């Protein structure tokens, strides 16, 4: 009889851990492994702000401050949309149905959070910044620091990507 009671207790405990633990685990998974960018049509945000880069954030948010400093230091014009108070910026931000800031829109890329690699990729892919302009932005990464020593003597037939040092597979002209 005692084993039966212990078995029921363990079953109830497992049920409660699963009931309350699963949503926590699901949120943790989403926070840790979410895609760095979400592709979409954000043209209405660009039309409303008159810029091709939009940062939705707050005054106090440290990652919003980093994003603003990042764009400013590189001379990239951006719309600094503050969402603390009601207004048109808050309405556009709410339409995205996201929690937390910063939210950065570049071309067809929505970047939730301050992710330098995702920002640089979106800047180049959206033609806001050229690859040559982005390379100095990344110079503190080991792959780029190594790549900066290549110089201009590298033959055109030996082009490699900056991060993997593997031959490019795309057919670029």
Domains, the chain: 37-129 (3.40.30.10), 130-150+160-173 (no CATH)
Give the residue-averaged pLDDT of 80-92: 96
Q: Is pLDDT at 150 greater than 50 in this prediction?
A: no
Q: How far, CA to CA in Å, does 47 sit from each of 42, 92, 114?
A: 9, 12, 23
Is the distance from CB of 90 to CB of 58 less than 8 angstroms?
A: no
**How far is Cα 58 from Cα 80, in angstroms, rounded to an integer?**
9
Alpha-carbon distance 43 to 36, whole Å? 20
pTM more than 0.85: no
The confidence band for 15, taking pLDDT boundaries of 50, 70 and 90, is confident
Higher-pLDDT residue of 50 and 11 is: 50
> Looking at the predicted structure, is the pLDDT value of residue 141 above 60?
no
56 SS3 class: strand
Q: What Rg, from alpha-carbon coordinates, does the chain have?
A: 23
Q: What percent of the chain has pLDDT over 90?
A: 45
Q: Position of tokens 């049920």?
A: 15
> Mean pLDDT throughout 79-107?
95
Averaged pLDDT for residues 6-16: 77
Whether 48 shows a pLDDT value over 90: the answer reads yes
Using an 8 Å Cβ cutoff, are 106 and 119 in contact?
A: yes
90 vs 3, 29, 54, 168, CA distance in Å? 58, 28, 13, 42
């Amino acid at each position: 009889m005692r084993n039966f009671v212990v078995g029921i207790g363990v079953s109830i405990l497992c049920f409660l851990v699963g009931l309350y633990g699963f949503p926590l685990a699901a949120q943790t998974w989403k926070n840790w492994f979410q895609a760095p960018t979400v592709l979409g049509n954000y043209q209405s945000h660009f039309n409303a702000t008159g810029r091709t880069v939009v940062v939705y954030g707050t005054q106090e948010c440290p990652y919003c401050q980093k994003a603003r400093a990042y764009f400013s230091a590189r001379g990239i014009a951006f719309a600094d949309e503050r969402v603390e108070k009601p207004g048109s910026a808050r309405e556009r931000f709410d339409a995205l149905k996201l929690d937390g800031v910063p939210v950065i829109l570049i071309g067809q890329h929505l970047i939730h959070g301050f992710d330098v690699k995702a920002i640089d990729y979106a800047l180049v892919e959206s033609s806001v910044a050229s690859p040559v302009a982005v390379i100095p932005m990344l110079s503190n990464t080991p792959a780029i620091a190594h790549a900066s020593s290549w110089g201009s003597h590298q033959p055109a037939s030996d082009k490699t990507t900056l991060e993997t040092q593997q031959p490019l597979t795309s057919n670029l002209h």
